[in-house]
Structure 1
Amino acid sequence: MEDEFADRSSFENMGNEIKEGAAGFNPALIVLLLVLGLLLTFLIGNYVLYYYAQKTLPPKKKKPVSKKKMKRERLKQGVSAPGE
Structure 2
Amino acid sequence: MEEDFEFADRAPPTIDRMASTAGNAEAKGFNPGLMVLLIFVGLLLVFLVGNYLLYMYAQKTLPPRKKKPISKKKMKRERMKQGVSAPGE
TM over 0.5: yes
**SS of corresponding position for 2:28:** coil
Residue 49 (structure 2) pairs with residue 44 (structure 1): yes
Inter-partner Cα distance in structure 2 for 1:37 and 1:83:
66
Alignment equivalent of 2:70, drawn from 47, 65, 77: 65
Aligned residues: 76
CA shift, 1:32, in A, is 1.2
**SS of corresponding position for 2:53:** helix
Deviations 1:23-58 (A, max 9, x none): 221222111111111111011000100000111111
What's the % identity of the aligned pairs? 68
Quote the RMSD (CA, aligned, Å).
2.2
Structure 1 unaligned regions, length at least 5: none
User: Segments of 4+ in structure 1 off by > 2 A?
Assistant: 12-18
Deviations 1:42-78 (A, max 9, x none): 1100010000011111111111111011001101111
1:35 partner amino acid: F
CA shift, 1:15, in A, is 6.3
Larger radius of gyration: 2
1:67 partner amino acid: K
